[in-house]
Amino acid sequence: MTKKLLPYIGLIFTFAFVVGMITLEPKGSRTTQSESDNLWTPVVTQSDAMLEKYIDNFDGANDSVALKSRGYKLRRGALCGPPGTNNGWFQGNSTVFSAYNGPATGYVAANYNTVSGANTIDLWLISPIIDAGAGDTIIFYERGPTASTFPDSIRVHWAANGDTNASTGSWVELGKFKATITGSWQQRMFIIPTASATGRLAINYRVVDGGPAGQNSDFIGIDYLRVIGPSTVGISTTNGEVPTTYALGQNYPNPFNPSTKINFSLPVSGLAKLVVFDVSGKVVATILNGEKAAGNYTADFDASRLSSGVYFYRLESGSYSETKKMLLVK
């Protein structure tokens, strides 16, 4: 009798071992393949005068407390099953893969342990309020573990009314895709359909037959989230002369509200970049980023979307770089 039971006892111990391995790392991946930091940087096509309307590089803390303190709403959607060993979004795990940029753990993650059993995962990361126009672009990077056999699925939504609840009729689905498993971070871009000064975007981790006993969920990472759109900036030549040196003039008027002019000179043709950033160093507007012929130029910068305060603008071209300060007073 004992000999007949031995195979079944062995199966029980094997099952217990596998379950133990799953629950040992509640914020890990189910894919055991070793991971290399094979990152890539795709080219982002932007026209001149793009404004960073929202940016989160996730380089700091990304646990639930930190995300909520930055204005994120962490929600479980209507389809989400009972909680598993971890209950939502968490700090990136560098043992699974490193961040797209910044610190190795500088991304936000979610995984199969969001639910128990083989239940549906329906997890929402809802952004803070974003002032965006129709046609603005949502950009972020995503990935899953290299060669994962579990087809994680991610959706992106927009709510012009600033809804903070998941799975309501306010949300417009902009697209969906499976997490990238090639060993690289993949850039994703979606167009905002409706203008709103109080809109929100949502990244929705949604997987049927998910959880530790399911067949479709593993681990996802989200990094470097931005919303960009056209800024009201015009760049014109001031005369037909070619300057002999680089120069960046002081903006005028200064202080200003909401528009100001910035003169700059390029003695040779080539790549040039003129950006505006706040006191924390965050870029809030890109006035110029591309090829420009040699000449003298004036940029008309409209800061209607920015808050009052001190800002800096920097011109870079070749080995030249210069920064000046300006004051927006509303």
**Cα gap 150→145, rounded to integer Å:** 9
Name which of 6, 252, 206, 213 is nearest 110 in CA terms. Answer: 206
- Token couple for 316: 């870079």
15, with CB counted inside 10 A (0-12, 13-18, 19+), is exposed
Q: Which amino acid is at 175?
A: G
Is residue 202 within 8 Å of 171, Cβ to Cβ? yes
Q: What is the pLDDT along the chain (330 residues), one digit of tens a residue?
A: 444 444 444 544 444 434 444 444 677 787 754 333 333 333 344 444 567 788 899 999 999 999 999 999 999 999 999 999 988 999 999 999 999 999 999 999 999 999 999 999 999 999 999 988 899 999 999 999 999 999 999 999 999 999 999 999 999 999 999 999 999 999 999 999 999 989 999 999 999 999 999 999 999 999 999 998 876 567 888 888 899 999 999 999 999 999 999 999 999 999 999 999 999 888 888 888 888 999 999 999 988 878 899 999 999 999 999 999 999 999
- DSSP per position, 235-282: EEES-SPPPSS-EEPPPBSSSBSSEEEEEEEESS-EEEEEEEEETTS-
Q: Is 320 exposed, middle or buried (0-12, 13-18, 19+ CB in 10 A)?
A: middle
CA–CA gap between residue 312 and residue 241 (Å, rounded): 27
Please provide residue 320's backbone torsions phi and psi, each rounded to the nearest 5 degrees.
Answer: -85, 140
Architecture of domain 233-328: Sandwich (2.60)
The residues spanned by each domain of the chain are 53-227, 233-328
pLDDT at 317: 96
Report pLDDT digits (tens) over 82-115.
Answer: 999 988 999 999 999 999 999 999 999 999 999 9
CA 54 to centroid of chain Cα atoms: 9
Catalogue the E-assigned strands of the chain. Answer: 50-56, 73-76, 90-91, 108-111, 121-126, 130-132, 137-143, 153-159, 172-178, 186-191, 196-207, 219-230, 233-237, 247-248, 259-266, 270-278, 283-292, 295-302, 309-317, 320-328
Return the CATH class of domain 53-227.
mainly beta
Torsion of CA 200, 205, 206, 212, to 10 degrees: -150
